[in-house]
Copies of this chain bind each other. A is one copy, B any other.
Amino acid sequence: MRGPGPDTGLRAADLHSSLSDPLLDVMNFLNEVTLRYPDAVSFGPGRPYDGFFEVDRISTYLDTYTRYLEQDLGRTPEEVRTALFQYGRTNGQIHELVARTIAQDEDIHTDPSGIVITVGCQEAMVLVLRALLADPDDVLLVTDPGYVGITGAARLLGAETVPVPEDGAGLDLDALRSTLAAVRARGKRPRALYVIPDFSNPSGTSMPTPKRHELLDLAAEEDLLLLEDNPYGFFSRTGERRPTLKSLDSRHRVIYFGSFAKTCFPGARVGYVLADQPVTGDDGRRTLLADELSKIKSMVTVNTPALAQAVIGGMLVAHDCRLRDANKDLIDFYRGNMEALLGALARHLPQDRWQVRWNVPDGGFFLVLTLPFAADNALLEESARDYGVIWTPMSSFYLGAGGEHQIRLSASYLTPDQIEEGVRRLASHLTRRMGQG
Contacts and interface: CB of A to CB of B under 8 A. Distances in A.
Interface in A345-366: none
A152 B299 contact: yes
Interface stretch (A76-84, A374-382, A383-391): A76-84
Interface in A28-44: 28, 31-32
B3 A269 contact: no
B295 A25 contact: yes
A267 B310 CA distance: 10
17 contacts: A4-B223, A10-B280, A11-B279, A16-B133, A16-B134, A16-B296, A18-B295, A25-B295, A27-B302, A31-B90, A53-B85, A59-B59, A59-B62, A85-B267, A119-B119, A119-B301, A153-B300
Contact of A10 (B24, B126, B268, B279): B279
Given A14-B134, A50-B82, A307-B307, A189 B2 contact: yes
A86 interface: yes
A332 to B, nearest CB: 19
A243 interface: no
A55 B84 contact: yes
A62 B61 CA distance: 13
A221 interface: yes
B307 A305 contact: yes
A120 interface: yes
Interface string A291-306: 0101110111111111
Give the size range of A's interface with the partner: 35 or more
A437 to B, nearest CB: 33
A112 to B, nearest CB: 16
Interface in A48-102: 48, 50, 53-55, 58-59, 62, 66, 80-90
A30 B1 CA distance: 41
B119 A15 contact: no
A7 interface: yes
A190 to B, nearest CB: 10
